[in-house]
Amino acid sequence: MLDFQKLSADYQQALLGQVVPFWLKHSLDAPYGGYFDLLSGKGEVIEGDKFVHLQAQQIWAFAWLYNTLDAQPAWLDHARHGATFLSQFAHDDRLNCYAILDRRGRPVAPASDVIPDSFTVMAYAQLHQATAEDEWAMLAKQLFANLLNRHEVDREQQAQAVGDFRKLRYLNEPLAMLRAALGMQPLLDEEFYKATIERILHELLREFLDRRTDTLREFILPEGSFINTPEGRRLNVGLTFQTASALLDLCAESGNRKLAMQVVAWCLRLCEQAWDEATGGLNQYVDMKNQPFIFPDWQQKWAWVQLEAIAALMKGYFQTRHPDCPTWFKRIHDNTFATFVDTRHLGWHLALDQNNHPLLPAKAIPAVGCYSLIRCLAETAQALTRCGQLQPLGRHIRVGASPLS
């Protein structure tokens, strides 16, 4: 039986009692500005660089909590602290983002894709919504225009470059752009917003989606051709759920129920393919053609992957009422709350090995920060509350009749 209100309270408790306090307490770099992006399991600073997309994700997460959950001044202060640093150091004179800065903000590496720019746009837009300060809106608009332009030029060049080296396109780019566009909606002219969303949807649903198998691929050749290598055959579980989640947000806004049904079908199939019967939890990758894996990290269980799945399943359930959503939700939920919660320190374990022990003595690394954790816990709490409200009083969804449980 799913008790939506009780479950929603569990997600709120994980968010506000465990995850948010970890970041508020440990990540702030008071002397130099911005956040420490590398933190140990206990929250100690691991010396290293600052990653523009992680800084931006943390700004976004705290401004978004302030805007959508509770207007706590500490959350806004935390977000503003990061945004002040980013606006000073993260972009060059023409408002194109760097990828990596050192602790003091000096550029270490240029951006090779639109990821840092996309998250920076989201951060500034969210902070503008929280403060109504023009500065953030202006920065967001200019950065967004730049990144759309750069992405389009890249696509054209790739499509025209015949006989050149192979160019792979990566799912995380249109995904980050979709999130950025959704965040920019209040700041954009309606027609331009719609055209931008259309362009990104075309890329996702006509190029990255293999329409024969209805499968969202991680890497494609320009214009969507398949490449029969381990990368080309790879489905990235976390990234697919993240994309599903963003598309479901779009469906909720536009009322596109057909797309919501399609996205939920991806999610359910991916659960079947990626679930690890031996240890519980979702693996990182699936090979479209079931060839043996060559990626040494394929069976690692990452908290962000489980949470992206949970959030997508619960949003998908709210929109489609597909009966397999709560079944898979419960299965992943039970495993996740049994294994990833750190019972001794604030924060969640980042990843687990085959014994369900923490893979790393760290809770924040260049590959993963607070973004999925905070967003998915909050989104799931909200979706669960809504599901509870829809339900006739006194009835719970039964989980257990399905062969899965």
Angle at 33 between CA 113 and CA 239, to 5 degrees: 35
Based on the shown chain and the rule CB under 8 A, indicate whether residue 342 belongs to the binding site for a second copy.
no
For the chain, first and last CA: distance in Å? 11
* Interatomic CA distance for residues 380 and 4, integer angstroms: 10
Based on the shown chain and the rule CB under 8 A, indicate whether residue 157 belongs to the binding site for a second copy.
no
Q: Which is nearer to a second copy, 212 or 289 (CB)?
A: 289
Based on the shown chain and the rule CB under 8 A, indicate whether residue 105 belongs to the binding site for a second copy.
no
Q: Where are the alpha helices (DSSP H) in 255-370?
A: 257-274, 303-320, 324-339
Choices 116-124, 136-144, 336-344, 355-363; region in contact with a second copy by CB under 8 A: 355-363
* Interatomic CA distance for residues 33 and 78, integer angstroms: 11
Based on the shown chain and the rule CB under 8 A, indicate whether residue 290 belongs to the binding site for a second copy.
no
Based on the shown chain and the rule CB under 8 A, indicate whether residue 48 belongs to the binding site for a second copy.
yes
Ranges within 168-227 binding a second copy (CB under 8 A): none
For residue 177, the surrounding DSSP H or E stretch is helix 172-184
* Interatomic CA distance for residues 226 and 219, integer angstroms: 8
Choices 16-24, 34-42, 177-185, 335-343; region in contact with a second copy by CB under 8 A: 34-42
Q: Which is nearer to a second copy, 80 or 233 (CB)?
A: 233
Based on the shown chain and the rule CB under 8 A, indicate whether residue 297 belongs to the binding site for a second copy.
yes
Q: Are strands 285-287 and 234-236 parallel, antiparallel or unpaired?
A: antiparallel
87: Cβ–Cβ under 8 A, 6 or more apart, which residues? 124, 135, 139
**What are the Cα distances from residue 341, in Å, to 201, 305, 344?**
36, 14, 9
Based on the shown chain and the rule CB under 8 A, indicate whether residue 46 belongs to the binding site for a second copy.
yes
* Interatomic CA distance for residues 60 and 119, integer angstroms: 8
For the bound state, the minimum distance from the C-beta of residue 319 to a second copy, rounded and expressed in Å, comes to 34
Based on the shown chain and the rule CB under 8 A, indicate whether residue 71 belongs to the binding site for a second copy.
no
Choices 169-177, 189-197, 339-347, 358-366; region in contact with a second copy by CB under 8 A: 358-366
Number of residues that bind a second copy (CB under 8 A): 42
For the bound state, the minimum distance from the C-beta of residue 52 to a second copy, rounded and expressed in Å, comes to 13
User: By the criterion CB under 8 A, which residues form the site for a second copy?
Assistant: 38, 40-41, 44, 46-49, 102, 107-110, 165-166, 228-230, 233, 289, 291-300, 351, 353-355, 357, 359-362, 365-367
